[in-house]
Amino acid sequence: MKQVKSSLRLKAGLLFLGLLVFCSPAHAGPTSSNLLVDLEDALVSLAESVQPAVVNLSPYVPPSPSVGRMDKPTGRATNAGAGVIFDAAGGYIVTNSHVVRNADRVTVTLFGGDELVGRVLGADEDTDLAVVQVESDHPLNSVRFGDSSRLRVGQLVVAVGNPYGLHDTMTFGIISGLNRENVNLSRYEDFIQTDASINPGNSGGPLLNIRGEVIGINTAIINYAQSIGFAIPANMVKRVTSDLIEHGEVARGWLGVGIEPVTPEVAAKAKAVAGSGVFVNAVFEGDPAHRAGLKPGDIILRIGGAPVDSPSKMIRLIGVISPGQSVNLDILRDGKTQVVSVLLEKQKKIREALVRKPSPLLDLPPLGIEIEEVPAGAQEGGPSVVISNVFADSSAAASGLQAGDRILALNGENVDSRMSYLRLLDGVSTGEEVFLLIQRNEDKIHLALVREN
């Protein structure tokens, strides 16, 4: 076992100076030559230190067809890519989940060509990370993680991987951006953007700083765009890999609300600031938010003291808190701020659809739904009102309402007939909020809509 210990002490300023000198023949001389030699030696040393810990991952092929048929069916990875050994003693390798998707075993090719069979311990599609474990008769090389919270735009980075099957390829660049989200690559997005060349086959490989520390795991590129690649920050990688090794999955906190951005229209009605916080449009009855007293119409401004400015950031902040922990939410209600403490539960994936984006309405019913009255005896309980149709372009559809949902109350008053629904809705003016209590199977959902016409 051997831990990579980079001896690089060359500062970023020196590297930049070397590059500037290289581009300026007028300054060529003994000093500039020495700087370029130092730059070259630094990059060569980095490559020699890190490359032995970078592996190639490819679909596992059983030794013979007969062996494959005798055992239970084994899934195969759909894509080849890279990975990096981060724990030599345990044989743990981190890579992208899409590299090992649908596989329980993969072929791991070490630096130098030796092949091992790796077992997929767990994968997390929400962050596009996975952990593979190998057993080796020989000592393995590994890398160490850096602190991605200390990164700055402009820092020098190196990406290592196997683009297009070209093993042990190293590219050089800078950090072009931080905290990139809404790229639609995964659910929990907080990417490092880099201009270091990343191509198919780099997925799962490391992004390193000049000290040889892994600051991210390369995950994707934007097709048809040059010099735009993304990496998952090391701090996120450390937490996810720890959970995957210990539990085989990632345990995330669950709040139990539907959310949307604070648009200028929402901000005007709620006496808030557009782009600051997230608007709560639904609260699941019995879930943590409901038990803590959150209501549709609240705006969540901070989570554990960290500001929230988008649904993606709120999902990420809640997701890094372990179930069973309490967190303070700073909320805005009726123009006044207050703090609410919430005890989080384990994430419930079945309700993730209630993150919506407002859409314009044209000649639709007031709430974008059609209803029908169900008489007593047709189902449990007395007469009730059930949603029979949800218009595709309505805010009701965007909020997650479904045909078959039962309307129990509107603005706090019981709804038990079509007449009571229309009477209560008639008391709401265009542009005002409507608060519904919905029953869906065993769930009760508090939902906020806006009457559009």
Indicate the class that CATH gives domain 369-450: mainly beta
Residue 377 pLDDT grade (very low, low, confident, very high; cuts 50, 70, 90): low
- 54-250 CATH choice from 3.10.20.600, 1.25.40.10, 2.40.10.120, 3.20.20.70: 2.40.10.120
CATH T-level topology, domain 253-351: Pdz3 Domain (2.30.42)
What is the pLDDT at residue 64? 59
Q: Among the listed ranges 101-105, 292-296, 337-341, 411-415, which one has the minimum average pLDDT value?
A: 411-415
Cα distances (angstroms) measured from residue 324 to each of 239, 278, 318, 412:
17, 23, 12, 31
**Do 289 and 329 touch, CB atoms closer than 8 A?**
no
Can you give the C-alpha Rg of the chain in angstroms?
27
Helices (H), 200-359: 234-247, 264-270, 288-292, 311-319
* Structure token digits, residue 182: 């809404």
Mean pLDDT, residues 238-265: 87
Catalytic (active-site) positions: 98, 128, 203
Average pLDDT over residues 231-246: 92
Structure confidence at residue 388 (pLDDT): 83
Q: Which residues contact 258 (CB under 8 A, 6 or more apart)?
A: 280, 281, 282, 283, 354, 355, 356, 399, 400, 447
Average pLDDT over residues 31-51: 78
pTM over 0.75: no
Tokens of 133: 């474990």
Query: Lowest mean pLDDT: which of 136-140, 195-199, 369-373?
Result: 195-199
Q: H or E element: which one contains 408? A: strand 406-410
Average of per-residue pLDDT across 402-429: 84
Residue 6 confidence (pLDDT): 39
Q: What are 3-26's pLDDT values in tens digits?
A: 444 333 333 444 444 454 445 555
Give me the pLDDT at residue 59, please. Answer: 86
